[in-house]
Structure 1
Amino acid sequence: MKLVNTSVKRPVGVIMIVLAIIALGIVSVRSLTVDLFPKIDLPVAVVATSYGDAAPQEVENLISRPIESSVSSVEGIQTVQSQSQSGSSLVIMMFNNGVDLDQALLDVREKVDQAKGFLPEEAGEPSVMRFSPDQLPVMWVGLTGDDSATLTQVAEDEVVPFFERQGGVASVTVEGAKEREIQLILDQAKLQQYGVSAQMITQSLNSSNQSASVGAVEKGNKKLQLRVTGEFESVEEIKQTFVQTQSGGKVYIDDVAEVKDTYKKSSTETLVNGEPSVVLSIMKKTDGNTVEVATNIKESMEEIKGELPPDANLDVIIDTSEFIEMSISSVVKNILIGGIISIFILLLFLKSVRATIVIGLSIPIAIISTFTLMYFTGETLNVLTLGGLALGLGMMVDSSIVILENIYSYRKKGYSIMESATKGASELAPAVIASTTTTLVVFLPIIYVEGIASDMFTPLALAVSFSLIASLVVAVTLVPMISSKLLTKAMEDKGRRYWFDRLLDRVNNGYRSVLRWVLKHRKTTVFGTIIAIAGSLALTPLIGAEFIPSSDQGQMEIRVEAAPGSSLEHTQGIVDQINEQLTEYDDVIETNYVSVGGGGFGAMAASGNQATYTMQLIPSTDRSKTTKDIVQEIDEDVQSIPGAEITVNATDSGMGMGDPVQIQLKGPEHEVLRELSSRVVDQISTVDGVYNPTSAAEDGIPQMTIEVDEEKAAAYGLNQQQIISQIQLQFTGQVASKYREEGNEMNVKLMFPEDERSTINDLQDMKIQSQSGASIPLDSIVTFKEVQGPVTLLRENQQPQMNITSEIVDRDLGSITTDIEAELEGINLPEGYSYKIGGQAQDMAESFTDLSIALIFSIFLVYAVMAVQFENFLFPLIIMFSMPATVVGVMVGLFVTGLPLSIPAFIGIIMLAGIVVNNSIVLVDYINILRRNGKDRYEAILQAGPSRLRPILMTTLTTVLAMVPLALALGEGAEMQQPLAVTIIFGLGISSIFTLLLIPVVYTLFDDLTAKIVRRKNKSA
């Protein structure tokens, strides 16, 4: 080949190109974005809307339904879901794969703008957002101290602006902050004494708190703008605002209300390691580097700490970059270990340091070239792309080994070193290219697979492909060139490593004997293979299946739910008891963040009866137990605490794959769904492996329903709206105006004293003021009814829905899902009601289907490439018989290691489709060469097998042993690549044995069949 000749004759040019690639690769590595996983492009949009303190029923009817109805007509929408909680609505739109989400978001915004006219005036402005796992905070920082109000001010005025100036930071959100508020505590007796109403106070505040431009006048040659200033400049001015009474008198606000400059009563409390705190969640820019952003924040913290008050402490609560760095570091170590193992195998076989160096150079050059290609294709440096490099490490040297062996064979025939390098490389370059192509083509269908499997493993496929392409170029250019310079005396037999040569001779002799036996017992060999394949497939139920292996990131959460309607103080008491139990785990818990009265990170709404712990454990290498073990121990300890339902779960923040098990109940009525969900929870709780099943139909929140008698109200000149507004003022308060101070805006809120709006008696004794000024007892025009109201109302595709979710332990997801489906079949659902399995179980089923199709296409492409290479349809068919035997290795490997079949394992099976045929190609090709040279079939097989055993062993061992560190899951985050590595190690290892024994047998059977067909044709002719 011309390329080979050029590389040998012009070594300086090749060296310069290699050095340029190395330099470019080093620059590319420094510029690559580092993250835990590849970017997952979820076609999801969200519309979030607030609606005061409205109950879930009103939120659903007045907010969620109009928005659902409006956006459902947007083109490309697959599913529309809504969550209606007290005071907030969340409408989630999931689009079909391939939809242009930017255009879809524009369409959604247009539809939401049209729906605004149907929403209540009190509703907040709907916000339309794109959802992405990249939008999760990269770091949470806690600001602890004695005074929450001071901490809030310090956070908002100093810390947040400082952090937002750091490189790569998009925004910083404050959680647990105190909100300043001017409260006007009304005195009912004085209001009646002076004849003043809350509406009159509101009107006076608004009329006194205004500034406006009123025109312009000329003064000489100047034109002066006229502006009336009347905004409040101090709290004292609010106190001295006068109210015009109905009798014409003037009353100051200070006479009828107590004016307090204070903070809004918080419904939540945040604690970090037991201390009151304000939590800052830091978001990175879309193209930001997670590790770089976290490093910038941590380095800048020392600078800002010097400007904080003495009693304020700034500490990192959770840093997602730590696990990323540890994971990347462990993968790099595995690559280095695998590289060392490969080089040792090469040294063992080649018996020459120089020859090993020649081949070993292909590894770093291929890796560096891969980094360059990754940079220009926009891929990130993550555990999967690096894992792809580690998986391809052993395969990188395969092409170089084949080329070098052929160069050495020409050298032994007496050719000069230059001629040997040229002829040896040129002769086998087409075969090497074809062999590499069979490995590359299996990845083509993966690129066309949709969904999460594609987003996660397309980058891995690209990384492996880039490394193999780079190693192929090195094999046909750099290896011949270096061989012509270094291998003048290399690989000569001087008696070194004689023990290994003797070992190889014994293996060769043993293989030749076994080969003779299988050729004489062809039927036994074929049936034995079929039995082995059938036996391995019988292991499938014992192996099970899961979606994606979870990494032990050391993050866990505890969710506390006290009785509905419980006060914040009551929930805090339960939290204190949990804290006492957690003291036993101080040696493994690094950080403990708890939100009392809130739903934790990213919760839609707060509830006084709930609390959420988010805990970071010490690294897995520093503890003897896994996160799941610790979770189960803590769960057992806290279950003895009375008065609350407490669930403990491990979290996997890096993937965000959702709940392993999710059962979606659908039907026309929410109440019926609530009852059915309780039955489903009880039913699936009996399934082995189901852990902490929970239903979205939590115990209802106690509600007091107030039904207005419109006829009685009309007799007093009142309507329903007037009654609602007065009750709302009494028990919730009313924002009357705004007050600005030093650039900060705060509410001026009317409210009644705490002791007049706390009990049921305060409600029943309340007086309603008519338009004539008369006071009417509330219970004379309304009726009271106490009911249980829902916490959250869910809908999907404009139909009520209820979700039941569960974690899993000690069993695989596939087996648990099968048992759950069996249990659900025994539940008689009313007409119009149905269920569907969602969550990771659904994603797993869809991904397995897509990957199965990809596997079929991969096998077809491999056959097509071999057909082109051999220019024959029969020999590729013979070679394809090495694939079924791969099943034996895959199933045995997963069974022995106790790993279920997962998406990474399935990717490994697809990769094997392109790898296992390489050994068969080498064997069949050499058998054909010997037969063309005059050998009979039997002798050709007996000679080809043992002579090709050495390169087959060499390439197989370098590929398999280089993956052993990944298969052992050494280090953080290695769980993701473990099934893939195990699949390839066992699949390729056992398939190589079948290749050496079964393929010769199949070759003879097809050869006999061809001969019979030819004879029949000749006779008929």
Structure 2
Amino acid sequence: MKLIRLATRRRVTIAMVTLAVLLFGLVSLSRLDLSLLPDLSYPTLTVRTDFAGAAPAEIESLITRPIEEVVGVVRGVRLVRSISRPGQSDVTLEFLWGTDMDYAALDVRERLETLALPLQADRPLLLRFDPATEPVMRFALARNAEADPAEDGLLPPVAAGDSNTELRLLRRFVDDRLKKDFEGIAGVAAVTVSGGLEDEIQVLLDQYRLAQLDLSAELVAQRLRAENVNLSGGRLEEGDRQFLVRTLNEFQSVEQIDDLIVATREGRPVYLKDVAEVRQGWREREAITRVDGEEMVELAIYREGDTNVVAVARQVDRALARIRDDLPPDLALTRTYDQSVFIRNAISEVVQAAVFGGLLAIAILYLFLRNLRSTVIVGLAIPISVVATFAAMYSSGLTLNIMSLGGIALAIGLLVDNAIVVLENIAARREAGDDWLNAARQGAGEVAGAVVAATLTTIAVFFPLVFVDGVAGQLFRDQALTVTYALLVSLAVALTLIPMLASLGDARRVRGQADDIPPKPQGFFATLRWAIGAGLTIASTLFVRIAGGLIAGLARVLGWVVHPLVRVFNRGYEALARRYPPVLEKALDHRGWTLLAAIGLFAFSLLLIPRLGMELVPSLAQGEFQVEIQLEPGTPLGETDLFMRGLDRFTRQQPGVARADSVAGTGRRLDSNPEEAGEHTGTLNVILDANADEATVTRAIRQYLMAQAGVDFAIRRPELFSFATPLEVEIAGYDLEQLRAVAGRVASRLEASERLSDVRSTVEQGHPEIQIRFDHERAARLGLRADEIADTVVRQVRGEVATRYTWRERRIDVLVRARTEQRDSVERLGQLVVNPGSPRPVTLDAVAELEQVVGPAEIRRIGQQRVAIVSASPGFGDLGAATEEARALLADLSLPSGITLRVAGQSEEMQRAFRSLVVALALAVFLVYLVMASQFESLLHPFVILLSIPLALTGAVLALFVTGSSLSVVVFIGLIMLAGIVVNNAIVLVTRINQLREAGQTRREAIVEAGRARLRPIVMTTLTTTLGLVPLALGLGEGSELRTPMAITVIGGLLLSTLLTLVVIPVVYSLLDRRRTEADLAEGSGA
């Protein structure tokens, strides 16, 4: 090949190009972003609409259904699902993969503009559902227990025992100072605060006193708004002077609010304090946050959607020192969660696995080559290919994540394969008598075609990944591109750098380089070119001599250490080399039995596949898990907090638990699709020690919760790949009572299975409601309207923010509502005066009927149809077995008319992903065949080589069965990779057989001789690839759940395929290849 001749002739040029590539690669590496996973573009939009005070049924009919009808026809929408809960509607649109979400969002907004919703409803808000909305960091602010009591601080002394004051001061400090400090950091999108007590001015009205004075709550709110104003009055000119006119009438103190005149009666002013109690309190709490049992104020930091987690965390760390220096001495800011730590650790583990894999591959090279110089030449292919891959990754916009780096680690063993084949053939030419230069040119040229074909077959298997749907295709795109880049670079290295370095073994040629410097020409530019060329020539000569000396010295030192190991290895390999030809001869003599044994082994592996189990993606342990709690609906926040404190205390007593933080209520959530909401819910986040047994801790928590009455719970790891729970049973129909009844029966059957756990139903429990039904005739006779009565009830019970009080640049709500004792029971609610200001007061129970009922907590819809969802997780075993058991349990369930049932969740997504991966595997095999047919110019020989793929499948299945691994998307990707890797050995073997037959040998002689000649490179490449994957297969460190199954698949398939390829492929070749050469004819006539 011209490229090889150019590489051996222009050695300095090749060296300079290599150095340039290394430089660009290192620069690119410094600029690559770190992330846990590739950028996943989840094709989902959520339309959220708030309608305060509305029940789920009203939300469904007035908000959800109209929105579904309008946006359901947007192009690219595959599914519409919704949740109608008290006061809020969430309509989620799932789009087909590949949909342009910017245009989709624009289309949805345009359709929402045409929608007529109730006037009381807020404007619909369009949200992008993105896992990036998980907080990057969490911090907790609390009293510093180690502070010196003599120092002045923010909080009152501990002896004062006023926890409410302490919590209010903490929340105030966070809102005024820390929140603003963190929001000013580059890359931070939002900072949410939960816990503590938020300031509020409360105006608690005495409705009876208001009725006596013919006043209303609406009038009080109007007076508060009217009297709390600061307005600009324009400019006043007096002569040559100008003045700004301002009306200053904002409240300056709570006492001033108390003394507000709200009306006059009989010429005497009525003050606000005459009809209400004005006090400085705090808002009704939506959540109580605790860290290690102590109540604190928490800050959750969210990054911008297009920023990098590690980069944002680094910016926060830089600002954190300054923020802590500005804290009062009695406050302590503690980091409770940092997403970047897991990412850094996961990336570090992959890098270590890649480095150790590379070292093992190089060690195998040395044991085979028994020459340090040759080992260094081939070993250079690894770092050069990896560093050059970083440049390609940077230009493609990829990031350093566990998938892209996993691709590099998987490719480590493959990177030296091409170099081994080239160098082995160069060594063979050298042993045949060629000098180093001709050996490099001829040896590399002879195998260049086979090397190119082998590389293209490996690369070809990644192209069908573009046809993989769902998260699987998005997830493994980075890995496919990374492996492709690395293999292309390794091919270039094998055909340029390896022959160039091998040709340097010609000492005469090296010594002659200095003499080859041409005489100095005339002219400035000619002289400059001459000087540069001469300098590079001398530099390359010095480099070769210095490198040669270092290698020779290193060889002498290492020889004393590794010589015994090399001697043992050589004995083992020589025994294999002696026994292989007789085994091959015997297989050729008994071809039928050989094929029958191979077919039997393959059939046995097929029988094992159903026993492997199936899952979508292995669960990724992050050293933490969440316990989600639901108490009886209507449970007040205080009781929920009391329960969470007991659970928190029990959890922290378990061995291996590093920390636990709890949230009672839902005030901390900042996602676009909260599954549950209310004061009766809670979440416990448990962080484990590095060596903790997660299963033991979760088992203890599960037993504790099962002993508690009236508690619904689920234990989950953070999900990274799917929003659905592992197993969902969707029950569709219209009647809510029928849905509730069927869901209860489904849940009971699933709970009876030991294989399933965390069984929950979306319609198990409802919220207690007080439904007010008006007597319209009675109200009309009294001159009252339903909307006026409803407004009065809302104003008295929920209250109305009349204005805001300014204090030290803080805007504090002024809430007007009835006194607590006048609205703390159904009976007193009925005594509310609904016509304030009238001479004859009318109470609510005089014009309406108050009924206590249990209404639905939420109404879910999928595909514009009401559904109830019963969810569960595998208690043990795999998702596939759990799904099959659920189907079996529900097979004979009788359903009312109009009710349908189907099993969905991750199991449905798993089946869809597996179908697309099977298609991708078939396309990969077909592409491999196309590449080989083009290389061999034959339709038969590629078919022979393809038989190594089912042999590899046999090895992969056996390895998965022995290690207890399940079939998953990760395993399927490993099988696709395997299809491109295992054929390489067969390509090398069949290519040599064809060459020997063309040289005049008989079919049998060529098969035996090719097997003997190619045994060493085949075993060498197999061991370098498998040992390069061993660190990945060990399953050590964070993120190993994604790497280990793929490595096990490739190792098992490659090892068994290699053993069988050396025997089965020659047998099949001898059966199918019916060409008759002159040597075959001569052998036949001689016989």
Query: TM-score if structure 1 supplies the norm length?
Result: 0.94
Contact 1:859 1:913 in 2 (8 A): yes
Residue of 1031, 1041, 1063 corresponding to 1:997: 1063
Q: Is the aligned partner of 1:922 residue 2:984? A: no
Structure 2: distance between partners of 1:951 and 1:487: 24
SS at match of 1:539: helix
Question: After superposition, what is the alpha-carbon deviation per residue over 1:466-504, rounded to whole angstroms, capped at 9, x for unaligned?
Answer: 111111111111111111225869999x99945444432
* Cα distance in 1 for residues equivalent to 2:14 and 2:839: 98
Contact 1:904-1:979 at 8 Å conserved across structures: yes
Matching residue within 531, 542, 561 for 2:630: 561
Report if the CA contact (8 A) 1:175-1:279 is conserved: yes
Match of 2:71 in 1: 71
In 1, the alpha carbon distance for the partners of 2:103 and 2:251 equals 45
Are the aligned partners of 1:533 and 1:885 in contact in 2 as well (CA < 8 Å)? Answer: yes
CA distance in 1: counterparts of 2:241 and 2:106, whole angstroms: 48
* Contact 1:555–1:614 (Cα < 8 Å) also in 2: yes
State whether structure 2 residue 254 is matched by structure 1 residue 185.
no
Within the candidate set 561, 568, 576, 2:645 is matched to 576
SS in 1 for 2:504: helix
The CA distance in 1 between the partners of 2:716 and 2:772, in whole Å, is 43
5+ long unaligned stretches in structure 1: 1016-1021
CA contact (8 A) 1:395 1:955 kept: yes
> Aligned with 2:307: secondary structure?
coil
Shift of 1:650: 3.5
Could you report, residue by residue, the CA deviation over 1:691-715 in whole angstroms, capped at 9, with x for unpaired residues?
1111111311221222111111112
Judge conservation of contact 1:565–1:609 (CA < 8 Å) in 2. Answer: yes
Q: Which residue of 2 aligns with 1:305?
A: 324
Q: Does structure 2 retain, via aligned residues, the 8 Å contact 1:212–1:229?
A: yes
Moved more, 602-611 or 88-97: 602-611
Say if 2:412 is the partner of 1:412: no
Decide which moves more: 965-974 or 253-262: 253-262
Worse-matched range after superposition: 572-581 or 691-700 = 572-581
Alignment match, 1:32: 32
SS in 2 for 1:397: helix
2:656 — aligned with what?
588
Q: Distance in 2 between the 1:703 and 1:675 partners?
A: 20
Contact 1:735 1:749 survives alignment (8 Å): yes
Q: Secondary structure at the match of 2:834?
A: strand
Paired with 2:94 and 2:387, the residues of 1 have a C-alpha distance of: 39
Show the counterpart of 1:800.
866
Shift of 1:216: 6.7
For residues 171 and 568 of structure 1, the distance between their equivalents in structure 2, rounded to whole angstroms, comes to 26
**Distance in 2 (alpha carbons) for counterparts of 1:842 and 1:241:** 64
Structure 1 window deviating more from structure 2 (482-491 vs 280-289): it is 482-491
Letter in 2 for 1:567: P
The residue correspondences of 1:925-944 to structure 2 (distance < 5 A) are 925-944=991-1010
- The more displaced of 164-173 and 767-776 is 767-776
Distance 1:600 1:964 in 2: 43
Instruction: Indicate the SS of the match to 1:775.
Output: coil
**Contact 1:665/1:677 (<8 A) preserved:** yes
Q: What displacement does 1:63 show?
A: 2.4
Check 1:226–1:305 CA distance in 2 against 1; reply closer, same or farther (3 A cut).
closer
Whichever residue aligns with residue 814 of structure 1, its letter is G
Amino acid at match of 1:982: I
Render the CA deviation track for 1:960-986: whole Å, top value 9, x for unaligned: 111111111122211101111111111
* 1:449 aligned residue (459, 465, 468): 468
Give 1:496-515 correspondences, 5 Å limit: 497-515=566-584
Deviation (angstroms), 1:223: 8.0
Does 2:869 correspond to 1:870? no
Under a length normalisation based on structure 2, what TM-score does the superposition of the two structures give?
A: 0.89
Cα 1:567–1:1010, aligned 2, differ >3 Å: closer, same or farther?
farther
What residue number does 1:629 align with? 696
Q: In 1, Cα distance between the equivalents of 2:789 and 2:937? A: 89
Counterpart CA distance in 1 for 2:197 and 2:92 is 30
Q: How many residues are paired up? A: 1005
Which residue of structure 1 lines up, in the alignment, with residue 534 of structure 2?
none
**Pairwise mapping of residues 284-303 of structure 1 onto structure 2 (< 5 A)?**
284-303=303-322
Question: Within 1, Cα distance between the matches of 2:887 and 2:1075?
Answer: 49
Query: Is 1:598 paired with 2:669?
Result: no
**Partners in 2 of 1:815 and 1:189 — Cα distance?**
66
* Aligned position for 1:610: 681
Post-superposition shift, 1:384?
1.0
Distance change (3 Å), C-alpha of 1:602 and 1:674: farther
Q: Which residue of 2 aligns with 1:389?
A: 408
Name the structure 2 match of 1:56: 56
Which deviates further from its counterpart, 811-820 or 494-503?
494-503
- 5 Å-filtered alignment, 1:260-275, equals 260-275=279-294
Tell me, in whole angstroms, the C-alpha distance in 2 between the residues paired with 1:14 and 1:304: 53
**2:254 is matched with which residue: 235, 244, 248?**
235
1:964 aligns with 1030
* d(CA) in 2 for partners of 1:850, 1:628: 33
CA offset at residue 305 of structure 1?
Answer: 2.0
Where do residues 120-199 of structure 1 align in structure 2 (5 Å cutoff)?
120-121=119-120, 123-145=121-143, 147-176=166-195, 178-199=197-218
Tell me how far 1:36 sits from its aligned partner: 1.0
Aligned with residue 952 of structure 1, among 1018, 1023, 1035:
1018
Aligned residue runs from structure 1 range 189-268, under 5 A: 189-210=208-229, 220=239, 230-245=249-264, 250-268=269-287
Please list the CA deviations of residues 698-739 of structure 1 after superposition, one character each: whole Å capped at 9, or x if unmatched: 311221222111111112111211222222223221222333
Alignment of 1:519-558 (within 5 A): 519-558=588-627
CA–CA distance in structure 1, aligned partners of residues 305 and 30 of structure 2: 18
- SS state at 1:963 partner: helix
The alpha-carbon deviation at position 92 of structure 1 amounts to 0.9
State the distance in 2 between where 1:637 and 1:441 align.
Answer: 53
Structure-2 separation of matches of 1:956 and 1:25: 28
Counterpart of 2:297? 278
* 1:632-651 matched pairs, under 5 angstroms: 632-640=699-707, 642-651=708-717
Note the alpha carbon deviations across 1:747-803, whole angstroms, 9 max, x for none. 222112212211222123333326633112332222222211121211122211121
Amino acid at match of 1:589: V
**Cα distance, 1:573 vs structure 2:** 2.6
Superposed CA deviations along residues 89-140 of structure 1, whole A, max 9, x for unmatched, are 211111112211001111112222322x32332x233221212112221111
Confirm or deny: 8 A CA contact 1:717 1:771 kept in the other structure.
Answer: no
CA distance, structure 1, for counterparts of residue 209 and residue 274 of structure 2: 8
Distance (whole Å) between structure 1 residues aligned to residue 996 and residue 85 of structure 2: 78
Question: In structure 2, the residue corresponding to 1:768 is in which secondary structure?
Answer: coil
Deviation at 1:321, TM superposition (A): 1.3
RMSD of aligned alpha carbons: 2.5
Name the structure 1 match of 2:343.
324
Which deviates the most, 432-441 or 64-73? 64-73
Residues 660 and 806, structure 1, Cα contact 8 Å, conserved in 2: yes
Aligned match of 2:151: none
Contact map agreement 1:62 1:120 (CA 8 A) in 2:
no
Give the drift of 1:460: 0.5
Q: Following superposition of structure 1 onto structure 2, how do residues 684-833 of structure 1 map, counting pairs within 5 Å? A: 684-769=750-835, 772-833=838-899
2 CA distance for matches of 1:670 and 1:481?
77
One-letter amino acid of the structure 2 residue matched with residue 98 of structure 1: G
| Pair 1:400 & 2:467 matched | no
Distance 1:114 1:179 in 2: 38
Measure, in 2, the Cα distance between the counterparts of 1:156 and 1:572.
Answer: 23
Aligned counterparts of 2:449 and 2:1066: Cα–Cα separation in 1: 24
Contact 2:756 2:876 in 1 (8 A): no
- Match of 2:1037, SS state, is coil
Contact 2:286 2:667 in 1 (8 A): no
Deviates more, 1:991-1000 or 1:735-744: 735-744
Q: Using the alignment, how far apart are the partners of 2:883 and 2:506 within structure 1?
A: 60
Say which SS state the counterpart of residue 75 (structure 1) adopts: coil
| Partners of 2:761 and 2:869 within 8 A in 1 | yes
